[in-house]
Amino acid sequence: MASRLAACEACRKAKVACDHKRPACTRCASNDRAGICIYRTTPFKRRRVSSSTPVQSPSRLPPAQPSFTARSNPYPNPGFLGSSSHVAIFNEISPQDYHASDTYHASEDMTMLMQSQSTGENILLIQGADVLRQLLNTFPLAAMKDFVTFWLETGANLALAEPFTEKCTENMTRLFTSFSQEDNWHLAYAQRLTQNSREPLQFNSTSDMESFSAQFLDQKFRWESLGIFLSAVSRAAIDISFFPPLFKTEKDQFMLRKLSTKLSDLALDIAFSLDCLNDLQLVLQYENFIVHTHVDGDQSYHSWSRLGNVVSSMFALGYHENVEKTKPPIPTFLAELRKTAWATTYSADKNVAIFLGRPPRMSKRFCHFQVPLTPTSSEQVSNTSHVEDEVIRWKIDTPICYRSGIRWATLCSALKEDVLELLRSKQRDNFNQKASIIRQKAETQWAHLPPRFHLSGTLKECSGDAFERDLLGSIRLDQLHVLFLLQLSFLDTLTEPDPSILDISDQMLSLVVDAILLRDQLVNSGIGLVWKIAHFGLPAAGIILLSMLKQHRTLTEARSSWSKTILNLGIFVAQVQVGSIVRRGDPNYALVSKATQTIERFLDSIHREGIQSPTQLPPHLGENGDWATFFGQDVCDFETDFWENLAYHPSLLASDPTLPAI
């Protein structure tokens, strides 16, 4: 006697015949409802409701709640296990050394435990389904797709998810075809996404990008795919301030950004709960971190902790090792994706560590240094005797694209790590020699970079498009930042800047001010405008203000005119004050506004009284004044405390009678 087959949920609710085909029955497939063709795990088993459990209102809790296994294995996924782990030792034991009967097999008790984990509801899944319904009921899906497409047409993209952004966007409207007539359509879709996300991503040495992508598109759409699309929506809502099909006011723009970010977070959390790390999940994890730097701010603990999670996943997947020597061999496109993931995470780790003054989490001493190839290039990184000797050769026709920017940022980050180690070194015996080696590497890297990547003149004089102009500016800022940090390491105190670091600071500030003035003619090529200001502009401005306040005679002789520098500082203050860069309520407002107030107070003082020389200051506030003790923090720290301390410099206090004297 044939066993009884259950109809799918859509056919069961409609009370029509179902042919039980999987993954979608014929009726659902022909009606463009394959996305909600879900088969229940235990269709003929009634749920028991405990008498002690309060019955919730149907309006508050959907009657059909999806359930899924948080993970199919009771043991956690161990991920990559390196040469120092116990696995490396046990792998040396030959199978002949022990009896086959001693091999471990799962017991019946363990099998029952695994089955018992599949019962009950999962709160993350229900939350994800609810936010999905709220988002799509508030903002039309077709309009969101057009919104992301418009954003992509400007030249912007997600730096790491670039190969998948457009694919995931196109497939959104194919997946969500019909749901308005179903009460619990959001729960059905959530369950389908979860089922798909459980499936491992298959590939072999001959796989290509199309066959790999097909595993998470169309009816195989996953939470990771949805998260990538939502990350693009969030980023577009940050870059584009007016898009009538979706929003006309700041309130609606903020609501779109909030909902898309929240659902992206839940998509990532649900994917994590399945305990099956994969390449697509890592891509989403990194892009989610970038979104939070925009939403929560660059100083936010939430952003910093999410970067730490990306680093943890990177190590757990083993992508800090040489991905080209993976066994069995992986396809070229996937090796490049993994190298890109390592490179951009490594670069972000170094820059965030410098910005926050915290220890970096990734060290190239424990990683295989690797950078991605560009679409039309075949450059290789040649490691000679040690990873510190990495040298990259660029082809003359290397395209200006995201991966080129990531390659350059990674090379600069390696030098920044060397500078950080130099700053932390307790031994100053070989300091000058080590610093000279770092400087030589920086100059060699710049010389090897194709001439078309060298910014000649100002950003305004650059003849490229918006993306190219922004990328060339970012590349130059990264180069200057390496030299800035290196020169900073020679200073015993922040109050004693020398002419070399002043010249570098002037160049950095000028470039950042150009980016501010040309912001409508630039497209985010990987480094946003606010990050340019916070990471490059503010440290440069801080050094310049310190030198002006200190007024060493050697500096005034070397720099006969401060007019251009003062003009750049004035432009920076004016742009912040009118709200063109950050506005009250923005995540980075506190940092930028505090620095702006100090710069403004300084500009007011020099316009009223002129720059005082050391001989004009009171004796106790001269070159050896006690105000220098306020700068006892690390020489790389230019956060809010720096600007608060600088605001109490005696010269600035004298210009504002409302402030207390020191």
pLDDT digits (tens, 9 = 90+) for 157-186: 999 999 999 999 999 887 776 554 567 788
**Does the pLDDT of residue 72 top 80, yes or no?**
no
pLDDT tens across 79-120, in order? 776 666 665 566 666 555 544 444 333 334 333 333 333 433
Q: Which is nearest to 373 in space by CA: 389, 390, 388, 392?
A: 392
1-43 in CATH: which number?
4.10.240.10
- Which DSSP state fits 540? H
How many angstroms separate the Cα of 275 from the Cα of each of 70, 71, 127, 337?
Answer: 7, 6, 19, 21
- The tokens for 571 are 């432009």
pLDDT tens across 5-40, in order? 788 877 887 778 888 887 788 888 787 677 667 777
Q: What is the CA radius of gyration of the chain?
A: 29
Q: Which is nearest to 315 in space by CA: 362, 348, 351?
A: 362
Average pLDDT of span 450-472: 92
pLDDT tens across 238-281, in order? 999 999 999 999 999 999 999 999 999 999 999 999 888 999 99
Is residue 46 very low, low, confident or very high in pLDDT (cuts 50, 70, 90)? Answer: low
Phi, psi of 69 (to 5 degrees): -80, 125
Instruction: State the pLDDT at residue 614.
Output: 39
pTM given for the model: 0.81
Instruction: State the pLDDT at residue 546.
Output: 86
Start and end residues for every CATH 4.10.240.10 domain found in the chain: 1-43
Q: By three-state DSSP, how is residue 302 classified?
A: helix
Instruction: State the pLDDT at residue 475.
Output: 97
Instruction: State the pLDDT at residue 583.
Output: 85
**Does the pLDDT of residue 640 top 90, yes or no?**
no
**Please, what is the Cα angle at 342 between 337 and 347, to 5 degrees?**
125
Q: By three-state DSSP, how is residue 178 classified?
A: coil
Average pLDDT of span 512-534: 94
Is residue 376 very low, low, confident or very high in pLDDT (cuts 50, 70, 90)? Answer: low
Instruction: State the pLDDT at residue 632.
Output: 40
